[in-house]
Amino acid sequence: MSTCVLKTENLSIGYGSRCVAEGISLQLEEGRILCLIGPNGSGKSTLLRTLMRQIPPLKGSIFLGDRKLDRIPEQELARCSAAVLTGRPTPELMTCGELVAMGRYPYTGRLGILSEEDRAVVRSSMEMTETAFLRDEDFTRISDGQRQRVLLARAICQQPKLLLLDEPTSFLDIRHKLEFLLLLRKLAETQNIAVVLSLHELDLAKIIPDRILCLKNGHVDREGKPEEIFRDDYIRRLFDVEEKTYIAVYGEAGAPF
Amino acid sequence: MTDQRNRRTGACFALLAVLLLGLGVLNLLVGSSRLGVQEILSALLPGQGGSMAASIVRSIRLPRLLAAALLGGALSVSGFLLQTFFGNPIAGPFVLGISSGAKLTVALSMIFCLSHRIAISSAGMIGAAFCGAMLSMSFVLLASRRLRGMGMLIVCGVMIGYICSAVTEIAVTFADDSNIVNLHNWSQGSFSGIDWEDLGVAALTVAAAMAFTVLIAKPMDAYRLGESYAQSMGVNIRRFRAALILLSSILSACVTAFAGPISFVGIAVPQLMKRLFRTAKPLVMIPACFLGGSVFCLFCDLLARFLFAPTELSISSVTAVFGAPVVIWVLLTHRKGAER
């Protein structure tokens, strides 16, 4: 019995008059992870930004739970959907603890002062992401791997039902990529959060998500479970690479580790 | 560790309060006519008006001291708001040309009113200054859409400032005789010549603007992570940015209307306060900047009156001597990554 958290119907995304991709219909239940893959410019980030309501959809509709996304008031939206964005924020003189506590924004009062309950959520979010020891460190002075985990802790702190991550692993080395995604997997399952993320690492896309959505040339090229996507030489066709280069880059089929 | 932070914040506020009090007393004591402590004390108490000392203290020193504290605080909070808005550590009402824009419109309306023998009210002055501030601000905003990087924005602001100052100078040169001296003094920046009526209007305006500023401290905090994160946490970006612009313009317009353009306080004080408090949390920084700005301006005004007495320096030249090095220091120690 899992409830549907996110649903889109015949969604067209893009900027102004320029349509990036159209006809996107997807559905995601709580605790599930959906991974977006596709070549650069295929609309992965655009789709995520549309789901975050940072840009309006060109056509079609998005539902969070049973409500239309554009009807949800700002504060309420922030209570059910949280984000980890690309790029690295560089706040001046901010400790990791303060940054994570920012996730309580939609719950605190006019002046943003944390209640005892808020503090408890901050603590548990940092513990879940193994960042509690970073609490008093300056956010701009920690390693990239730690930084992504702190940003994840901030998003968890919002206690969302839906978590949207735009290429969360791009600055990390392979070990930290894997650690981060396994942590995400664990959080999705234990906290019952639906997760949508975009990835460039196909080897990891094979093992982490429940479902994969492939975007290419302005439409959904394929959608399904990882084993359905990574069949035959579909990936090679998705990225338009020659057979030899693909093998050289990713090796033969099988586990990458 | 968090306790340690709170203790540091408390200690810094206490330090600022002591400095404010001390400088306030010094500002009362020091002046061109020598007054004893006894005389000043009795002048401050109600009753026994009429004496020379009482009138000096009540109508010259006290309003001037309060004006320096009030307007200094307003100016540095205005700078802090602008730094938040532009994500730029050296933004401020003076370097962005906002003070100069306000100066221009105030000078023009003063000249107009003087030549037509109309008395201009304190509120009218603030209104005129606000129009000028918004005029400069809209130029800076237009420019900021096209310019990348913090350097170019500042250069653009300085240019706007020069244009406004030049027009003001021309207007003052061709203005009618009698009040030119007064106008000239004002356009150089000074806390002198502010009466109790001006002070009351200024205090009301600043208090209202400060109350609203405290109310946007929470979105300001979220905004430190960048616009997209702030939005994802439920900040209405458009409304928030409009509030920042309006409040910083009102605060700096109020200062310019009564004290003329005062340089560098808006940049230097927030930077000093961030380093003193070791945090940039708006809820701490807003009161800290206000107190810090009061202390800074009381100190500079004291020097302006005392250093070459009886000749008085313009307040702007003193604040520049202490403020400009801070800007250079910020530029030298600013880490590349901290640009947004």
Residue in A with minimal Cα distance to B222: A102
Please say whether the beta carbons of B73 and B60 come within 8 A: no
Q: What is the mean pLDDT of each run of 10 residues along chain B (340 residues)?
A: 82 96 91 75 71 80 93 96 88 90 90 79 88 92 78 86 90 70 74 87 96 96 93 93 93 92 91 93 96 96 86 88 89 60
| CA angle in degrees (0–180, nearest 5) for B267-B270-B271 | 80
Residue in B with minimal Cα distance to A102: B222
pLDDT score, position B187: 76
Range of the domain at A175: 4-88+161-250
Q: pTM for this one?
A: 0.90
Residue A154 counted as domain residue = no
CATH number of the domain bearing residue B37: 1.10.3470.10
pLDDT score, position B3: 76
Q: Which of residues 84-123 of A touch B (CB under 8 A)?
A: 85, 87-94, 97-99, 102-103, 105-106, 108, 110-113
Cα–Cα dist A13/A49, whole Å: 9
The CA distance from B290 to the nearest CA of chain A, in Å, is 18
pLDDT score, position B337: 46
Strands (E), A132-199: 162-165, 194-198
Residue A127 counted as domain residue = no
Residue in B with minimal Cα distance to A133: B1
Of A54, A92, A103, the CB nearest to B228: A54
pLDDT, tens only, B7-20? 999 999 999 999 99
Of B229, B235, B283, the CB nearest to A89: B229
The CA distance from B280 to the nearest CA of chain A, in Å, is 6
Q: What is the ipTM of this complex?
A: 0.90
Cα A253 off chain centre by = 26
pLDDT score, position B176: 64
Domain count, chain B: 1
pLDDT score, position A120: 96
Range of the domain at B143: 2-338
Residue A34 counted as domain residue = yes
Residue in A with minimal Cα distance to B279: A93
Residue A22 counted as domain residue = yes
- The amino acid at residue B279 is T
* Residue where the block lists tokens 């604040």: B319
Domain count, chain A: 1
Chain A residues whose CB is inside 8 A of the B283 CB are: 111-113
CATH number of the domain bearing residue A72: 3.40.50.300
Reply yes or no on whether the pLDDT at A148 is more than 90. yes
Which residues on neighbouring strands pair with residue A96, listed in sequence order?
Answer: none
Residue A156 counted as domain residue = no
Cα A241 off chain centre by = 26
Contact with chain A for residue B311, Cβ under 8 A: no
Of B218, B228, B337, the CB nearest to A112: B218
Residue A143 counted as domain residue = no
pLDDT score, position B49: 61
- Cβ <8 Å between B234 and A105: yes
pLDDT, tens only, A11-64? 999 998 899 999 999 999 999 999 999 888 899 999 999 999 999 999 999 999
Mutate to test the interface with B, among A74, A96, A126, A196 (most CBs of B within 10 A): A74
DSSP string across A111-131? T----HHHHHHHHHHHHHTT-
Reply yes or no on whether the pLDDT at A233 is more than 80. no
Cα–Cα dist B81/B244, whole Å: 6
pLDDT score, position B177: 61
Q: Which of A75, A83, A85, A74 is nearest to A193 (CA)?
A: A83
pLDDT score, position B30: 84
Reply yes or no on whether the pLDDT at A246 is more than 50. yes
| CA angle in degrees (0–180, nearest 5) for A62-A12-A171 | 85
Residue A45 counted as domain residue = yes
Residues 6+ apart with CB under 8 A from A137: A95, A96
| CA angle in degrees (0–180, nearest 5) for A91-A50-B147 | 50
For A27, the 3-state DSSP assignment is strand
